[in-house]
Amino acid sequence: MNRLTMDFWRRVFKKQMNEVKPNDLWRLTMDRRIEFNRVEPGWMETFQEHAHGRFTCSGCWHSWSSYQVLILFHMLWESSERRGHVKMKPLGQRCHECSLDTYEEPRFSEDDVADILKELILDIRESCYGEQVDRSQLSKVVCHEGGPHKREFCEGCQLGIHKGQQGRSKQAEHRGKPQSTGYPATIIQIETPSPYFTGSSTPSFTGSSAPSFPRPSAPSFTGSSAPSFPWSSAPSFPRPSAPSFTGSSAPSSTGSLAPSSTGSSAPTQSCNYCLWSVILIIAVFIISIIILIAYMLSFIT
């Protein structure tokens, strides 16, 4: 990165100013005597603290790059004569590899100069012409090298101008090592089917897939509410040990212990129906075995 002359800065500044203010006359000069917060009457002050530049130590020749170079500007605008003047002063940094107590001046590339002057012109339009500027058009300065800014070696920080990343940053975007995005972990929701079935969602079981239900402790039947099952899908219920009857079929507290049922005999009919169903299934099974044996004997003979 070569040290660019002031003539190069002037040519780029003049070209950019002619694009936005072709009827006005502006000039740019280097003045290392200007100081922060000490401006002459009629002058205005601005600065950039995130310019990119490169430094080389004059003692140990250590070289480093920085995206925290600070440049101080003083501006004067004479509206009656349509002319302006800008003084600039780049601030230096000290080498952190040796004990040399000297602020080295930064060097800039041609692209760096163009970016610095673009933002300077936005400051001029905003401060001198009172315009509302759009800084989103500025190219982002992307940091790919170097560590945190060491304020004890920065001239701008020692003068109280440069506040680091909390200062007057307009176009800096620092990108060091990739960091975590912080996205929340993916949440997968698993729906569990409800054990209760209503309406048409009742599951249907046929043939040998009929489920086996645990033995009920005391099933209760009232009136004509006894369940009805077709013979092929009827589940097997063991005989209840102590059926309970409500309503008119409640057992009498006196006299015989036999329950007095004046309503329907649905429990007895249901149990008899289940018993005959089991007998019928056994009979069909035996007949099927006999037919199978006879069919096999016919092949043998």
Sign of CA dihedral 10, 16, 18, 24: negative
Q: Which residues have CB under 8 Å from 217's CB, separation 6+?
A: 241
Residue keyed to tokens 């060491």: 150
DSSP bridge pairs for 221: 245
pLDDT of residue 149: 81
> Can you give the pLDDT of all 301 residues of the chain as single tens digits?
556 799 999 999 999 999 999 999 999 999 999 999 999 999 999 998 889 999 999 999 999 999 999 999 999 999 999 999 999 999 999 998 987 889 999 999 999 999 999 999 999 999 999 999 888 766 554 444 455 788 888 998 988 886 644 334 333 333 333 333 333 333 333 333 444 444 444 444 444 444 555 554 544 544 444 444 444 444 554 554 554 544 444 444 444 444 444 444 555 666 777 888 889 999 999 999 999 898 888 888 6
pLDDT value of residue 139: 54
Q: Judge whether 250 and 201 are in contact, CB under 8 Å.
A: no
Give the other-Cβ count within 10 Å of 158's Cβ: 14
Radius of gyration of the chain (CA): 48
Taking the C-alpha atoms of residue 183 and residue 50, their distance in angstroms, rounded to an integer, is: 30
What pLDDT does 269 receive?
65
* pTM check: above 0.75: no
**Measured distance CA(169)–CA(51) in Å, rounded:** 10
Task: Report H helices in 96-223.
Answer: 110-127, 155-158
Alpha carbons 91 and 110: distance in angstroms, whole number: 18
- Measure the CA–CA gap between 28 and 86, rounded to whole angstroms: 5
Ranges of each domain in the chain:
6-159
Residue type present at position 51: A
